[in-house]
């Protein structure tokens, strides 16, 4: 049993690991852990900048 996600392009269920929809070729945005950490640090920096 594999997990699926709904494609915003064609509303079909595709594999969660798929980077491109096999039906409509929609490219799923990749959110890597590194990108998430970068956003997290930017938010922290902004909070510090606002507070101090």
The residues, ordered by sequence, that sit 6+ positions from 24 with a Cβ below 8 Å of its Cβ are 7, 9, 10, 12
Q: How far is the CB of 3 from Zn ion (least distance, A)?
A: 16
CB nearer to Zn ion: pick between 8 and 44: 8
| Phi, psi for residue 15 in degrees, rounded to 5 | -60, 140
Instruction: Tell whether residue 28 is a contact of Zn ion (CB under 5 A).
Output: no
Interacting span for Zn ion (CB under 5 A) from 20-28, 29-37, 38-46: 20-28
Q: Quick one: tokens of 23?
A: 């039906």
- Taking CB under 5 A as the criterion, the residue among 6, 16, 20, 24 binding Zn ion is 24
């Amino acid at each position: 049993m594999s997990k699926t996600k709904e494609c915003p392009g064609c509303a079909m269920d595709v594999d969660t690991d798929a980077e491109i929809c096999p039906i409509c070729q929609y490219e799923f945005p990749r959110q890597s852990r590194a990108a998430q950490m970068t956003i997290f640090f930017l938010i922290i920096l902004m909070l510090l900048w606002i507070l101090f």
